[in-house]
């Protein structure tokens, strides 16, 4: 019995941490700013566990029965937490954060009740010193196992909804196991058995219908038909379709619409690359959709394009799905293209290659994981990979909606020793959008071949480098790894736009 209960400690510790990780990851996906979300979720959860441990002293009778009921409650609340939060976000966006922290607090209180009850049940068989040592050892071991499995296997293979439901089932399994172990000591065994069976059935039904539940929630979140959706270790990828318009969303943020993405990608690639007639080696960082690569391949002098994108699911999708391959014109399958799935910062630190032109097409700096890719340290690494006359271009969010963020990127590039040429273009799906060309020499624009573009012309190009008064340069700090000021600018400015 002692070993069975200690193994139960391992399981319930695993479940408690899993619910915490699911809540933190889901909040990061939906709200951005992963550091803030995980910090506040973990803090709320630990505080709630303390409250639960304090409340445990008031449970003085029927310890085993109370333990079983708590397992059922935490299994149901934690198991259905992900789909519940997802539905609240998509249907009732306003109270999402309130529901998030109430859910985390509720799960934390229940988890905080579990360990004191197990210790009181075990105290008849173990000396106090051995009791505390063994219970806490199994508790921490369970947390370690889940912390490793969650990012490597559970989240990418099962997704957030099924992961939460799986651990809910484990909590109910612990309750059923306790019912078996203490079958002769429970006056209300049949009632507890019926409750456990009902909880188990609900969780199994939820697990079996998780796909339909997620689709139901996302159908309201996205106005158009969802044609592809998957959760990877790095992000939530959703592709929607309305008639002939395909749209890509990463973590609920629009990345492109096929109706006007050519404006964005032509503006990203052609002004810089057209000014480098001798460019043979091109590096693309981010841009796993292959749309920037499509534009680069229109230059016959380019011999090699290296695409570095963190998420293999992204590059795999855009190299295999027929509609998306048609959109990028098979760019990722070109013999001139080499795809590398790696963290761009680490890859740059290890690389010894040099490139004539670099396209930086990362998502906006909405969290610190992305913000590091807009820092002076990152740009200094990048400068070392430029050939003697090489240039780079950075997509730099909107100079209209996120004005200080845009000029922060300019200041950061300049702090890395690069000369900058900021410009902007109107993309209907995004509004006014900004880019920055940078290099060791001053940028001089060149004519754009009209055969290569649908939107950009040599006549319209000069106006892109002129900024009206409401987008003109404003003071901004340099974005560094130790302060990530850009993330703060970005969050503050876009929050005002959304309101």
Q: Which of 416, 424, 418 is nearest to 472 (CA)?
A: 424
Q: How far apart are CA 228 and CA 324, in angstroms?
A: 11
Instruction: Report residue 386: phi and psi, to 5°.
Output: -80, 140
- H-type alpha helices, 32-80: 34-55, 63-79
Query: Dihedral (C-alpha) 384, 351, 285, 439: value to the nearest 10 degrees?
Result: 10
Q: How far apart are CA 87 and CA 41, in angstroms?
A: 19
- In the numeric block, which tokens belong to residue 152? 């490597």
361 catalytic per annotation: yes
- For residue 286, the 8-state DSSP code is E
- Answer yes or no: are the C-beta atoms of 274 and 449 closer than 8 Å: yes
Catalytic member of 33, 139, 361, 364? 361
Map residue 104 onto helix, strand or coil.
Answer: helix
Angle at 212 between CA 208 and CA 215, to 5 degrees: 145
Q: How far apart are CA 186 and CA 184, in angstroms?
A: 6
Sign of CA dihedral 379, 384, 389, 390: negative
- Answer yes or no: are the C-beta atoms of 306 and 283 closer than 8 Å: yes
Host H or E run for residue 484: none
- For residue 94, the 8-state DSSP code is T
Q: Which residues lie below 8 Å from residue 10, measured CB to CB, with a gap of 6+?
A: 138, 139, 141, 142, 145
Q: How far apart are CA 28 and CA 39, in angstroms?
A: 11
Q: How far apart are CA 415 and CA 410, in angstroms?
A: 9
Instruction: Report residue 392: phi and psi, to 5°.
Output: -130, 160
- When computed from its CA atoms, the radius of gyration of the chain, rounded to whole angstroms, is 27
Q: How far apart are CA 484 and CA 468, in angstroms?
A: 28
The phi-psi region of residue 286 (left if phi > 0; otherwise alpha if psi is between -120 and 50; otherwise beta) is left
Residue 318's Cβ-count burial label (10 Å; 0-12, 13-18, 19+) is buried
Do you know the residue count of the chain? 499
Q: Which of 304, 321, 141 is nearest to 229 (CA)?
A: 321
Q: Which residues lie below 8 Å from residue 453, measured CB to CB, with a gap of 6+?
A: 266, 270
Positions marked catalytic: 361
């Amino acid at each position: 019995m002692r070993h069975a209960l200690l193994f139960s400690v391992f399981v319930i510790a695993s479940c408690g941490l899993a619910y915490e990780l699911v809540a933190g990851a889901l909040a990061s996906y939906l709200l951005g700013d992963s550091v803030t979300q995980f910090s506040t979720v973990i803090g709320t959860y630990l505080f709630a566990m303390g409250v639960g441990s304090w409340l445990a002293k008031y449970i003085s009778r029927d310890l085993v029965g109370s333990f079983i009921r708590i397992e059922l409650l935490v299994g149901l609340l934690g198991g259905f937490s992900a789909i519940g939060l997802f539905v609240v976000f998509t249907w009732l966006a306003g109270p999402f954060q309130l529901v998030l922290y109430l859910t985390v607090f509720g799960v934390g209180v229940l988890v905080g009740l579990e360990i004191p009850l197990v210790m009181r049940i075990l105290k008849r068989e173990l000396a106090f010193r051995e009791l505390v040592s063994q219970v806490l050892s199994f508790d921490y071991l369970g947390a370690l196992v889940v912390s490793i499995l969650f990012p490597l296997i559970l989240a990418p293979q099962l997704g957030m909804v099924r992961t939460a439901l799986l651990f809910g089932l484990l909590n109910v399994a612990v309750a059923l196991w306790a019912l078996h172990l203490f079958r002769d000591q429970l006056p209300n065994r049949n009632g507890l058995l019926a409750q456990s069976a009902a909880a188990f059935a609900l969780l199994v039904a939820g697990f079996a219908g998780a796909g339909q539940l997620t689709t139901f929630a996302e159908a309201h979140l996205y106005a158009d038909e969802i044609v592809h959706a998957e959760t990877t270790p790095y992000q939530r990828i959703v592709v929607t379709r309305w008639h002939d318009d395909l749209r890509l969303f990463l973590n609920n943020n629009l990345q492109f619409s096929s109706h006007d993405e050519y404006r964005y990608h032509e503006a990203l690639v052609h002004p810089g690359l057209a000014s480098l007639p001798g460019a043979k080696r091109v590096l693309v960082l981010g841009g796993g959709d292959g749309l920037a690569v499509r534009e680069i391949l229109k230059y016959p002098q380019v011999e090699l394009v290296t695409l570095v994108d963190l998420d293999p699911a992204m590059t795999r999708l855009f190299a295999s799905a027929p509609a998306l391959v048609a959109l990028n014109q098979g760019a990722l399958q070109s013999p001139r293209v080499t795809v590398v799935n790696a963290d761009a910062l680490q890859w740059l630190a290890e690389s010894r290659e040099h490139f004539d032109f670099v396209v930086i097409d990362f998502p906006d700096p909405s969290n610190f994981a992305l913000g590091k890719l807009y820092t002076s340290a990152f740009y200094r690494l990048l400068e070392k990979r430029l050939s003697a006359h090489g240039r780079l271009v950075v997509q730099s969010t909107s100079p209209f909606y996120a004005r200080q963020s845009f000029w922060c990127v300019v200041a950061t590039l300049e702090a890395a020793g690069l000369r900058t040429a900021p410009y902007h273009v109107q993309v209907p799906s995004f509004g006014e959008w900004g880019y920055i060309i940078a290099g060791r020499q001053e940028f001089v624009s060149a004519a754009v071949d009209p055969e290569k573009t649908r939107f950009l012309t040599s006549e319209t190009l000069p106006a892109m480098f002129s900024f009206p008064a409401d987008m003109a340069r404003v003071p901004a700090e340099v974005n560094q790894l130790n302060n990530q000021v850009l993330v703060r600018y970005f969050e503050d400015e876009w929050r005002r736009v959304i309101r």
